[in-house]
């Protein structure tokens, strides 16, 4: 038995997160007014290219109002709220971090989406759902934190209904050593990257076939160039969630992509 999930939980644990979020919210929106997904996007989309990437993956996976979605490793719930509010999907979010789930529930209630989006603490390797419960599984910037990739993908396959879609968007290993800290790991002890080729093999061994497969590294680099040319985001941003180190983590992520230490992959898969 490995202590990897505990170390990952520790990496994302965040004392006082809810209070920090509430106080950051007052800088953009006074009082208890309802929040929109657009207002929250700089804070709650915890992956490269933010809400743009979520929208593209949802479209590639063909999600709509009838889709029962599991957002696995949902963070503070931005992608789940986006899917519910723009497509009308019913979404369940699961995450290892209790702090993130508390924040996700608060933000969802403030956004008026609690009737369509629910959250619970859980480990992607032991999902508390019957087989064939969901029509789609979203996994964005999570797999690189999961050491046991074959169990992860087998769990996704188990809880997907026949004909369901598995939409994944994750970092992959490049050709050189990764520079830490990065947003998912302060050092190599919580980082379990695979190359694009090994990711594909692990998915195929778990019984998936790709219906969409795209290397997004260049698109991400262009996005980073545009973001870094602008002024640093004030008010709502992911530094509120991850603390002052987040700027260095993000700069290292961009450097790793630029120097072919990391790549970025988006894919939609179906059961064989």
Ligand X SMILES: C[S@@+](CC[C@H](N)C(=O)[O-])C[C@H]1O[C@@H](n2cnc3c(N)ncnc32)[C@H](O)[C@@H]1O
Minimum separation from the CB atom of position 32 to ligand X (A): 24
C-alpha dist (Å) from residue 157 to 1, 127, 143: 23, 11, 15
Structure tokens at 199: 């990711």
Q: Which is nearer to ligand X, 123 or 272 (CB)?
A: 123
Is the distance from CB of 272 to CB of 207 less than 8 angstroms?
yes
For the chain, how big is the Rg over CA atoms in Å?
17
Q: Which is nearer to ligand X, 44 or 135 (CB)?
A: 44
Residue nearest to ligand X (CB): 75
Is the distance from CB of 87 to CB of 63 less than 8 angstroms?
yes
Window contacting ligand X (CB under 6 A); options: 39-47, 155-163, 170-178, 249-257: 39-47
The residue within the footprint of ligand X, chosen from 69, 103, 136, 146 (CB under 6 A), is 146
The residue within the footprint of ligand X, chosen from 24, 35, 46, 155 (CB under 6 A), is 46
Binding mask 186-225 for ligand X (x = CB under 6 A): ----------------------------------------
Minimum separation from the CB atom of position 127 to ligand X (A): 9
Query: How far is residue 155's CA from residue 106's CA, in Å, rounded to a whole number?
Result: 28
For 188-249, the DSSP string reads: GGG----BHHHHHHHHHHTTEEEEEEEE-HHHHHHHHHHHHHSPPP-SSSTHHHH-TTHHHH
Window contacting ligand X (CB under 6 A); options: 23-31, 40-48, 231-239, 249-257: 40-48
Neighbours of 1 (CB within 10 A): 4
The residue within the footprint of ligand X, chosen from 75, 164, 174, 239 (CB under 6 A), is 75
Position 95 contacts ligand X (CB under 6 A): yes
Q: Which is nearer to ligand X, 30 or 67 (CB)?
A: 67
Window contacting ligand X (CB under 6 A); options: 75-83, 102-110, 225-233, 259-267: 75-83
Sign of the Cα torsion 158, 159, 163, 164 reads negative
Position 96 contacts ligand X (CB under 6 A): yes
Window contacting ligand X (CB under 6 A); options: 22-30, 91-99, 157-165, 212-220: 91-99
128-159 in b/e form (b: 16+ CB < 10 A) is eeeeebbbbbbbbbbbbbbeebeebbebbbeb
Position 5 contacts ligand X (CB under 6 A): yes
Position 12 contacts ligand X (CB under 6 A): yes
Q: Which is nearer to ligand X, 8 or 17 (CB)?
A: 8
**Closest by CA position to 98, among listed 155, 17, 24, 173:** 17
Sign of the Cα torsion 236, 250, 165, 58 reads positive
Position 142 contacts ligand X (CB under 6 A): yes
- Contacts with ligand X by CB under 6 A lie at 5, 8, 12, 45-47, 73-75, 78-79, 94-97, 100, 123-125, 140-142, 145-146, 183-184
């Amino acid at each position: 038995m490995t202590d990897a999930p505990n170390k990952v939980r520790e990496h994302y644990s965040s004392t006082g997160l809810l209070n920090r979020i509430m106080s950051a919210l007052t800088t953009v929106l006074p009082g208890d007014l309802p929040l929109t997904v657009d207002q929250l996007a700089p804070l709650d989309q915890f992956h490269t290219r933010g809400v743009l990437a979520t929208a593209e993956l949802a479209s590639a996976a063909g999600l709509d109002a009838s889709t029962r979605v599991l957002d696995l490793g949902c963070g503070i719930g931005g992608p789940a709220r986006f899917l519910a509010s723009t497509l009308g999907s019913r979404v369940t979010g699961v995450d290892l971090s209790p702090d993130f789930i508390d924040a996700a529930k608060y933000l969802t209630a403030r956004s008026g989406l609690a009737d369509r989006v629910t959250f619970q603490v859980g480990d992607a390797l032991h999902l508390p759902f019957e087989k064939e419960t969901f029509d789609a599984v979203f996994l964005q910037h999570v797999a690189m934190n999961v050491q046991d990739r074959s169990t992860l993908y087998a769990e996704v396959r188990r809880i997907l209904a026949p004909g369901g879609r598995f939409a994944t968007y994750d970092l992959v290993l490049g050709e050189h050593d990764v520079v830490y800290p990065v947003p998912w790991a302060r050092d190599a002890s919580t980082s379990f990257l695979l190359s694009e080729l090994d990711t594909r093999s692990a998915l195929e061994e778990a019984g998936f076939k790709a219906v969409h497969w795209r290397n997004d590294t260049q698109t991400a680099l262009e996005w980073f160039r545009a973001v870094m040319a602008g002024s640093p985001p004030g008010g709502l941003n992911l530094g509120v969630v991850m603390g002052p180190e987040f700027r260095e983590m993000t700069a290292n992520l961009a450097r790793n992509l630029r120097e072919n230490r990391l790549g970025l992959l988006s894919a939609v898969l179906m059961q064989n």
